[in-house]
Every structure is written in structure tokens, then in C-alpha cells.
């Protein structure tokens, strides 16, 4: 039992340290996916070590526990969506959809949109074919901005609410555009940033994705709340590359 506790504590310390290296290489970033599991395993390890009187190993496991818990707690330490909505009568339903530029079934996509009836649609991987296929949305969504690109880099927004564009200078903005605007939802003004960073698979894409996410995080910090960052971010919620972006709970429903 002592050997198992020691091996577990050592392994947890190792993978936790590797997770912190996720900011420099995509292989290390993969270890960020299991923060909750690391925390639970460390908790069991602490209790087992204390039961055996192994104070040193209990301390080692406790360090792992605290580090991973510190990355999880922020997701539970902010005002809930229900509480915010109770004081804000504005209702906003946003639907994000990645159509996949190679997909040849726009009817299925339109069926989802007609069923869900969102106020705002953010569509990603829009190419010219998809822009044409979704053109019928303009009958229900009077305010649209569509930026078609090939190879999954296009983006479009279809809104029932008026909006005004905000200045933006995102990395790769011509190749991989973002949309930054301020929605007019009743008496509320909500900043919305829609983006689709590169998947960190091909050489150089990890760095380009991180550069765009860092830029997005800086934008979110500068914008007056409420603000929303939405998109297929191609990163795990607990990854270091996502830090600076707002949490999922937006205060609007």
C-alpha cells in the first residue's frame, strides 16, 4: 500500500508539472484535460498516506491537490446565470455551429437552426458554398456579416438584433477573420467576439492558435462588460492558452 501511494503521488506530481508546460508545447497541453481526475486521485492519495502515517507523501499529494484545485475553483466562484438573469430582463439565445466546410448537407443544418430559433447564430467554417446555402437566413435575421474563406477559416454571424462593429486587429485577420461587435439587446449593449483559432495539429498552428487566444483574452479584459467570447476555440477549458477568456456562465439566457 505504501509503494502504491508513493508511485501515485509521484505520478500525479509529474503529470501536474507537465500540464504547466502546456503553454510551450501541444503534447504537454494534453495533460490539462484531466485536472479533475488529478484532483480526485490526489485526494485519495492524501487520505491513504495520512492513514498510513506517511506525512511526507501526504504533503506531496496535497501539493498536487491544491495546484489542480486552484484551476477548477474559478469555474464555481462566479455569479450564476440564473442570478444575473433575474436582474436583467434581456433575453439572448446564441447558437454556435461549425458547419464543416466539407459538409454537403446544408438542409440538416438549417433544420437545426429552424428548430432551435436562436436570436443570434455564429456559423464557422463558412466557405462560399455554405454562404450561399445559408443565404435564406436573411429573411429571419436582418443583421448579417458573412466572411467566407476556404479550408475552414470562414465565419459568419446572423442576428435578429442590430449591432455595431468594434475595431479589431486580430492575428491573421485576413486569412482567419474574427468578428467583434456590440449587440443591442433591448436596453443592453453586449460585446461579442466570435473567433475560430487553428487546431493545434499542423506545424506552427499551436503557436498561431495561442497567439489568437492571447489576443482574444486581452480584448475581453479591455471591453466593458457584459461581453461574450464564442467560438470553436480548439482548446480545453482548463488549458493555459485559454486563460484570460471569460467563463461559460454569461449572465444571459
Reported confidence tier of residue 83, pLDDT bands at 50, 70, 90 = very low
Residues 6+ apart with CB under 8 A from 95: 113, 116, 118, 120, 121, 122
Number of H helices, E strands in the chain: 8, 8
| Spatial separation of the C-alpha atoms in residues 201 and 204, rounded to whole Å | 8
Give tens-digit pLDDT for 15-60. Answer: 998 888 887 888 888 888 888 999 999 999 999 999 988 899 999 9
Q: Which domains does the chain have, with CATH numbers?
A: 2-76 (no CATH), 81-242 (3.60.10.10)
- pTM comes to 0.80
Amino acid at each position: 500500500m505504501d509503494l502504491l501511494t508513493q508511485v501515485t503521488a509521484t505520478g500525479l506530481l509529474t503529470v501536474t508539472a507537465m500540464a504547466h508546460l502546456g503553454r510551450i508545447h501541444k503534447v504537454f497541453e494534453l495533460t490539462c484535460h484531466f485536472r479533475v481526475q488529478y484532483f480526485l486521485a490526489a485526494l485519495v492519495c492524501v487520505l491513504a498516506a495520512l492513514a498510513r502515517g506517511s506525512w511526507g507523501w501526504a504533503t506531496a499529494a496535497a501539493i498536487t491537490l491544491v495546484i489542480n484545485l486552484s484551476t477548477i475553483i474559478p469555474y464555481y466562484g462566479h455569479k450564476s446565470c440564473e442570478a444575473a438573469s433575474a436582474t436583467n430582463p434581456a433575453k439572448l439565445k446564441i447558437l454556435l455551429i461549425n458547419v464543416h466546410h466539407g459538409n454537403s448537407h446544408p438542409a440538416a443544418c438549417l433544420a437545426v437552426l429552424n428548430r432551435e430559433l436562436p436570436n443570434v447564430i455564429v456559423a464557422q467554417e463558412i466557405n462560399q458554398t455554405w454562404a450561399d446555402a445559408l443565404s435564406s437566413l436573411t429573411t429571419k435575421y436582418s443583421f448579417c456579416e458573412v466572411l467566407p474563406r476556404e479550408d475552414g477559416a470562414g465565419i459568419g454571424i446572423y442576428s435578429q438584433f442590430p449591432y455595431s462593429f468594434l475595431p479589431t486587429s486580430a492575428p491573421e485577420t485576413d486569412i482567419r477573420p474574427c468578428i467583434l461587435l456590440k449587440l443591442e439587446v433591448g436596453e443592453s449593449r453586449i460585446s461579442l467576439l466570435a473567433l475560430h483559432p487553428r487546431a493545434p495539429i499542423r506545424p506552427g498552428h499551436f503557436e498561431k492558435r495561442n497567439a489568437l487566444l492571447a489576443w482574444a483574452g486581452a480584448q475581453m479584459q479591455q471591453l466593458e462588460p457584459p461581453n461574450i467570447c464564442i467560438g470553436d476555440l480548439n482548446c480545453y477549458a482548463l488549458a493555459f492558452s485559454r486563460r484570460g477568456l471569460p467563463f461559460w456562465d454569461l449572465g444571459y439566457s
